[in-house]
Amino acid sequence: MTDVAKFGISRLDELLGGGLDRYTENLIIGRSGIGKTILAAHWAAEGARNDETVVYLSTTMNKKNCKAYLGRFPFMEDVYDKIKWRFIRVDPKFVLPLTREKIVEGLRATFGMDGKDIDRVVFDSCTDLELALADPVLYRRALTYMSDLSYDYEITSLWIEEAPMQGDWSSTKNIVDSVIFLNLLRTQEGYQRAMRILKKYRTRVPLEWIPYEITDEGVVIKDGYIVKRSYDYEYKRG
């Protein structure tokens, strides 16, 4: 197994310093329809292609529409059936009152296999857990339990979170090793999908927005960068 967990999207992997670091928690955040699920699916497929054991937890899809949606992308060819898809519904009655045992047992039952045998997990999306717990402190605690578990089992995790249309983001971004923010930017030409690596421990990442498109091939990174046109400060040489 390589020391990083790649997406299989070469420019993105390069910008991330090779890929996501093993045995860490990572987050993709963005609004609905921006491309979080497709990007996470690339990462899951890449793991399966390298004969890793990959579990994809989905709170929104079911067996049928997931295959119809993600199964048709070329990057899923030959690997769709190697991924352990788990379709779950997060109900408050299963998680409340919140205890570490509940989270550990819940995940164990959902995985349906020994955590030690798992290499990559996608949790799409954590927002359903957040809604079920309905409390930022409890939510953060649940994520900490999950992150302890991935560490014990030596799993690399990719969590997905819906960015709120307005208001504050959850604190997930503060406890993970890396954050990729997917967004829609307005440029001269109109709207452009773009991603920014908000943070990545141990790697120097670009601060600019990286434009991408979603096509029949999945997420395709475009050349160049996007920077904001207006600014408040100017640097002057000494």
Ligand X SMILES: Nc1ncnc2c1ncn2[C@@H]1O[C@H](COP(=O)(O)OP(=O)(O)O)[C@@H](O)[C@H]1O
Binding stretches for ligand X (CB under 6 A): 30, 32-38, 214-216
Give the one residue of 13, 30, 34, 37 binding Mg ion; rule: CB under 5 A: 37
Q: What is the dihedral of CA 36, 218, 41, 203, to 10 degrees?
A: -70
Whichever of 9 and 103 has its CB closer to ligand X, that residue is 9
Per CB under 5 A, the segment of 34-42, 75-83, 170-178, 229-237 that binds Mg ion is 34-42
**Partner from ligand X, Mg ion, none binding residue 200, C-beta < 5-8 Å depending on class:** none
Select from 68, 82, 153, 72 the least CA-distant residue to 119.
153
Please report how close the Cβ of residue 214 comes to ligand X at its closest, in angstroms: 4
Q: How far apart are CA 92 and CA 33, in angstroms?
A: 26
Q: How far apart are CA 57 and CA 108, in angstroms?
A: 12
Q: How far apart are CA 125 and CA 162, in angstroms?
A: 7
Whichever of 83 and 98 has its CB closer to ligand X, that residue is 83
Sign of CA dihedral 76, 27, 106, 51: positive
Tell whether residue 58 is a contact of Mg ion (CB under 5 A): no
**Partner from ligand X, Mg ion, none binding residue 19, C-beta < 5-8 Å depending on class:** none
Residues lying near Mg ion in the complex (CB under 5 A) are found at 37
